[in-house]
Amino acid sequence: MFRPSRKFWISLVFIFGSCGVLAYALFPFIKTELYRETLERGFSAAMGRAVSLEGPLSLTFSLHPRLILEDVSVSNPPWTSHPHFFRADRLEIGLSLGPLLQRRLEAEKIAFEGAELFLEEGAEGLDNWTFRKDSQPGIVSLALPSVFMTISERGEIIIERSRVRYRSYPDGETTDVSIHRGVANAPDDQHRKFSIEGTYRDSPVNIELIGGRIMDLFTLTEAWPVDGVLLTTGASASVKGSVGGADSDQMFELQVRVEGDRLSALNAFLKVGLPDSAPFMIAANVVKTPDAINLHDVGGTLGASDLAGQLSIEHGGRGQKITGRLTSHSLQIHDLTSLSDVKGSQKEPSLEQPESNASASMSLDVDLDVTIEKLLLGETELGSLSLTAGIREGQVLLDPIQMKSFGGTLQANLDVDLKNSAPRTRLKAQVRSFNFGQALEAFGVTKDIAGQSNMDVLAFGDGTTLQELLRRLNVDIRTDLTIFARSDSHPENRLPVASPQLSLRISKGGPIEIRGKGTFQDKTYGVRLMTASLIEMIESKKPWPVSLTAQRGEAVLAATGTLNPDRSEMSGTLGVLLKGKNLSELHADLPAVGPYQFKARVTKEGPRYRVNDFQSRFGTSDLAGTLEVATENNTPQFTGILHAEHVNFRELSTPGDSPIPTEAFNAVNGNLKMIIHQANIGELKLADLIVDAKLHAGLLTVKDLQGTLYNEKSSYGSFQGRLDLDTTKPIPSVSGQMTLKDIRYEYVFSDVDFVNPKDHVINLHANFSSDGATVDTLLAQSTVTLTGHNIQVRLHGGTNRREPLDLRSNLLVESVTGGPLRVYAEGQLENTPFRLRFSGGQMSDLLDNKGFWPVNVRADVPRAMAEVSGYVDLPHPGENFSLQVHV
């Protein structure tokens, strides 16, 4: 017969003993339904709120027992809008076995599923998350005071499929946060680590936070530490500080920093309509007391803009009061004015207060000082700005607004009345000593204008949004006497323009219209400019339409086209027309020729200008072609090709005593080619004239100058040469050379009977040089030499002689520094050698064609000589002369 061993009995006793001990420990919880009311009273007493356990309660037995509660809720204070502060579909509590054997409940793990937390603010600083403090050390059942429930120092909390709802005061707006999964554990005895993955306003949210113990958060008798990071799409926020504390009136003190790669990343998260702009950052030390929120050490950046200062938001019985001072070292307007289309949850920037919050808006007082040291528009510095902003009883007032810009000052005030359904905005400003020359240069329009003006500005409109305001805006800007001129170092070149009044008008958000009248060189002028509306300039990506008309005397200028809004260089294309009766009415130095008309299509792309489809007509001359000017370097560079059917240079000639424009020659570089089918230079007629010129650093080189001399019937010959003009010297100098080919001398000396002139062509070579500050001086002081070698012609000696004569000769014509004109010829006539000398008066007198010009001619042949001397009246050479003949 089998006898149980001693070990068997010992094991059996141990098992039954353990079961007995476990049954003793768990006896109060086996029939949990009997203790529902007791547990509810215990939880309620500990939290200071009514706790309800509506669902089934159960306890699982294992080495890690679990207490499961379903349909758990914690009530809210009576003043709140929701009955529950907290509720959960399922609450699972993992218990420690050791304390459980001692009839103590110690939670190792708490898991919430389907939980909802309702947070709400109330009047006078109330909130529903501040609990009545209880000195009881733990959660205790009043019926069974020996049963305690505490959370293990290393306990863990898990939250799944839950939600937090927050209702703000006074607007009553509700905000929801969905928690897909959240975990809280204890890295040490004093801190808890929280990790949350969820969704906030359709944006994914990840939170990593280290704080104090969870139960301390309900009492806040000591400062509860906070150190965490929030991540969402395109943005992040970090928070560090503390909440609560027994010895301080501060509700919390937090160092907050928010940053992201674009401002619009906050739109869905904050339910706003921020533009899709540059990277941003904002940081502040936020201190909240029962009566105020103070923001210390505020600092932020948005693209190239920065901001720093202090803010205070006080809560009083009559509403909120905001005071502070903000300073920006650099503020980029492009960082703030993007008005891209708002999609989804984004809102259009609004000036209107919701009707339901009208009373709230009336109780908001604001006093804010703003200083901007450098205001930028793209790369253009506009100046400095300071303003004081205030809000009183539904009225926004910016007064004063002070600005220093382009050498001038601005004093203004802005008033926005929010009491109407469509807020009404009114701006009044005075601008003094505004230097528009600096402004035009800064915006890349021109560097050649100088002047300043005073102006008065009045603008008003109404609208619930910024776009609506711009569509209804009325603007009236008027100036007093304005004088502007070219920014030239020489007073005679400044050409001042006086305008008694200029005006800019915008009517009901329509196109911008600028009008002006004044005087220029003792003649009145009028100008009118029409362009896009403000809303089109700010909101549209399309080119702006531009229409300009101006008239001065008989001269009319018209320009129509578009300007590109997305480039700071103000690129665009304009069709330009200039016409009038006489060119000299534009400027006294221009030739008196007319009528005239110039047409072209001018395109500006960055620093380059292109003139296409250029066509002109002035007097009997015409000119057409293309030009391009590049201004990216210090010295502009131009290139162009011009062609003409006919040019009358006599019509286009300017007074010879006009100074050579040396500054203009040194101000630009370029290459220009001209092709002229027919041209007139005084009595000379040219055909197929080609001029290929290069200008660099004040040196003008005509490297190819060619054409044909002709009369009405036939050609006199062709020419080809080059010319160099040096304007870098104190006195300009010119030099060059010319070759005359295939001279048809039979047409020059039509009274002579030449024999087969085509078989005996003549070629001549000329050199010339001169110095002078004017064209007249260059001609009067020129040195000219004309040479011909082996000249051979055959001609009939007269009507009685039939045999032709054979003439062979060398030729030299010269004038040194404008001195007497001399001609030397040596050769043979038939077999008789000869030498011919001619001496005349000054070359300048011959060019001027005035006065009595001395003449001396001597011819030498073997054993004979003939000489003629006297003078010729140049204006009437065939009528008035005196000659003496000596043989």
pLDDT digits (tens, 9 = 90+) for 613-654: 999 998 889 999 999 999 888 889 999 999 999 988 888 777
Exposure string over 681-703, b if 16+ CB within 10 A, otherwise e? eeeebbeebebbbebeebebbbe
Residue among 225, 267, 263, 271 at smallest CA distance from 244 = 225
How remote is the C-alpha of 615 from its chain's centroid?
Answer: 34
What phi and psi values does residue 419 have, to the nearest 5 degrees?
A: -75, -20
Please give the angle made by the CA atoms of 332, 233 and 194, to the nearest 5 degrees: 120
Sequence-distant (6+) residues with CB within 8 A of 472 are 461, 462, 463, 508, 509
Residue among 99, 196, 111, 90 at smallest CA distance from 149 = 99
- 380-392 and 395-405 strand pairing: antiparallel
Six token digits for residue 677: 């089918």
pLDDT of 486: 62
Sequence-distant (6+) residues with CB within 8 A of 515 are 502, 503, 505, 526, 527, 528, 529
pLDDT of 298: 92
- Predicted TM-score (pTM) of this structure: 0.57
Q: How far apart are CA 863 and CA 359, in angstroms?
A: 129
Q: For residue 450, how many other CB atoms are within 10 A of its CB?
A: 19
In the chain, which stretches have pLDDT less than 70? Answer: 1-35, 46, 101-103, 132-153, 218, 246-250, 275, 317-318, 337-362, 445-446, 483-498, 521, 540, 565-569, 655-657, 712-713, 797-802, 847, 876-887
Q: How far apart are CA 369 and CA 378, in angstroms?
A: 25
Residue among 133, 177, 183, 186 at smallest CA distance from 160 = 183
Q: For residue 98, how many other CB atoms are within 10 A of its CB?
A: 9
pLDDT of 498: 67
| CA distance to 383, 628, 691, 727, per residue, from 639 (Å) | 37, 5, 14, 20
The SS3 of residue 435 is coil
Q: With beta carbons less than 8 A apart as the criterion, state whether 614 and 600 touch.
A: yes
How remote is the C-alpha of 580 from its chain's centroid?
Answer: 37
Residue among 736, 668, 658 at smallest CA distance from 701 = 736
Question: Tokens 């009246």 label which residue?
Answer: 873
DSSP, residue by residue, 105-152: EEEEEEEEEEEEEEEEB-GGG-BSS-PPP--SSSEE-SS-TT-EEEEE
Can you list the pairs that 833-837 forms with residues at least 24 positions away whose Cβ atoms lie under 8 Å?
A: 833/861, 833/862, 834/859, 834/860, 834/861, 835/859, 835/860, 836/860
* H-assigned helices in 734-809: 745-748, 775-780
pLDDT of 354: 42
Q: With beta carbons less than 8 A apart as the criterion, state whether 473 and 512 touch.
A: no
Six token digits for residue 248: 């301080």
Residue among 351, 334, 355 at smallest CA distance from 461 = 351
